[in-house]
Amino acid sequence: MESVSRWPLLQKAFARFGRPVVVVDLETTGGNLYQDRVTEVALLRFDGQSVCRYEWLVNPCKPIPEFVAQLTGISNKMVKTAPLFEEIASQLLPLLQGAVVVAHNSRFDYTFLRHEFRRAGIDFAAPALCTVQLSRRLYPEFYSQTKQKIPNKACSKDKQPDITFLRC
């Protein structure tokens, strides 16, 4: 865990939710919910006046394809001795319970997260906010809203950041 005060505008915006907000980013071995597994969990938890960052490498119990390793920077060697998801679930669940889960393409991250909890025998559900859908409403002229493109528009020098992810 690391305390972070780098995102004061997000902290102020998220305070309006009246509940904690957890920005989630997962890395996985691929895109199939039933065959692939999580390799990394990264969170920013906005809770009132505090913002804390948490990160775990996760042993997926299966090889990471070379393409995915190149894309994510996470190798089989890095996760070989990492804990299994079910071993971090008891630390992770309290951080997510009662919070709004925010993710860029929450269908992917949130759904993978739910599947991993289910595999660990834990029921998990939370309200989710998808920044892909949000960005399409904020910037309809840009249909493809990758995490790399949004901050370039929203964090320009002549404009305060809108609801950008972790890059501002």
- Looking at residue 8, its pLDDT comes to 83
3-state secondary structure of 79: helix
H helices within 16-164, ranges in order?
66-72, 76-79, 85-96, 106-119, 131-138, 149-154
- Looking at residue 163, its pLDDT comes to 35
Would you list the DSSP string of 120-161? TT------EEEHHHHHHHH-TT-----TTHHHHHHT-TTS--
Token digits of residue 118: 């289910």
Contacting residues for 10 by C-beta, under 8 A, at least 6 apart:
23, 46, 161, 163, 164, 168
- Looking at residue 147, its pLDDT comes to 52
- Looking at residue 40, its pLDDT comes to 98
pLDDT tens for the chain, 168 residues: list them.
656 567 888 888 899 999 999 999 999 999 999 999 999 999 999 998 889 999 999 999 999 999 999 999 999 999 999 999 999 999 999 999 999 999 999 999 999 999 999 999 999 999 999 998 888 888 887 766 555 554 444 444 444 333 333 433
- Looking at residue 5, its pLDDT comes to 67
Instruction: Tell me if 155 sits within 8 A of 168, measured CB to CB.
Output: yes
- Looking at residue 168, its pLDDT comes to 32
